[in-house]
Amino acid sequence: MKNIAVLLSGCGVFDGTEIHESVLTLLALAKAGVAYQCFAPDIEQLHVVNHLSGEVASEEKRNVLVESARIARGEVKNVTELDVSAFDALIVPGGFGAAKNLSNFATNGTQCQLSPVVETFVREFALAKKPVGYMCIAPMMLPRIYTNPVGTIGTDSETGHAFNEMGGRHHAVSVEDIVVDEVNKVVTTPAYMLATNIAQVHIGIEKLVNKVIELIE
């Protein structure tokens, strides 16, 4: 049975993993008959956002690994536990956690870097030339991992320009589409960068998951 790693960045669209995107990813993997293991870094979140008010709860602190366990029903491992030989591919759902916790794109823009432990984790898959899928804002991490990666974050011109400025090649596509970088074995989809409802997100994510599985040798 194929086995795919899923990298989470907390729990909640504004400060962690986008919950719909992560759950739809796990559902698509299960429907395809693929085993999966969730991972997350054992680091502190950039900040905590009150998802009801949208305001930063400056007095609160949360841990990315602990928060990711909410989505994974407790079945999540520290990224430092990765044995890349046990996995066929990697999928990274979006949510602002990808730009705030896995990387600092939210604060540093095109000068961003990945969290050191996260960079080590994702580079393992790149070095092993294994397929990966990134969705929503998570593709902004790709230029820090691959050379001249092809990808999409949807149709937002400013973010697409930033992707290009960082060394990527951005393709503007609709919410239900995917972009495939055959050279690097990278699949991307806009998800909630464009979606107005969960049904639209589901279509793109299922395409992404199925294409990542197809790319597994």
The predicted-structure confidence for 124-147, as pLDDT tens digits, reads as follows 999 999 999 999 999 999 999 999
So what's the pLDDT on residue 131? 98
Q: Which is it for strands 35-40 and 76-78: parallel, antiparallel or unpaired?
A: parallel
The predicted-structure confidence for 85-119, as pLDDT tens digits, reads as follows 999 999 999 999 999 999 999 999 999 999 999 99
Residue 63 and residue 192: Cα distance in Å, rounded? Answer: 24
Residue 117 and residue 40: Cα distance in Å, rounded? Answer: 10
Element housing 69 (H / E): helix 64-71
Contact predicate 141/114, CB 8 Å? yes
So what's the pLDDT on residue 64? 98
Tens digit of pLDDT at every position of the chain (217 positions): 999 999 999 999 999 999 999 999 999 999 999 999 999 999 999 999 999 999 999 999 999 999 999 999 999 999 999 999 999 999 999 999 999 999 999 999 999 999 999 999 999 999 999 999 999 999 999 999 999 999 999 999 999 999 999 999 999 999 999 999 999 999 999 999 999 999 999 999 999 999 999 999 8
Virtual CA dihedral for 43, 47, 51, 56, nearest 10 degrees? Answer: 170
Residue 109 and residue 90: Cα distance in Å, rounded? Answer: 24
So what's the pLDDT on residue 37? 98
Residue 55 and residue 185: Cα distance in Å, rounded? Answer: 38
Coil, helix or strand for 27? helix
Residue 38 and residue 161: Cα distance in Å, rounded? Answer: 31
Residues 104, 44, 132: CA angle, nearest 5 degrees: 55
So what's the pLDDT on residue 217? 83
So what's the pLDDT on residue 163? 97
- Give every CB contact of residue 214 below 8 A, 6+ residues apart in sequence: none
Q: Where are the alpha helices (DSSP H) in 84-215?
A: 97-100, 105-108, 116-127, 157-165, 198-215
- Phi and psi, residue 39, nearest 5°: -130, 160
Q: Which domains does the chain have, with CATH numbers?
A: 3-215 (3.40.50.880)
Among 11, 38, 112, 136, which one carries the catalytic annotation? 136
Q: Is 136 a catalytic residue?
A: yes
Contact predicate 188/133, CB 8 Å? yes
Residue 79 and residue 74: Cα distance in Å, rounded? Answer: 15
Does the pTM surpass 0.85? The reply is yes
In sequence order, what E strands does the chain have?
A: 3-7, 35-40, 76-78, 89-92, 132-135, 150-151, 169-170, 179-181, 186-189
Residue 13 and residue 166: Cα distance in Å, rounded? Answer: 24
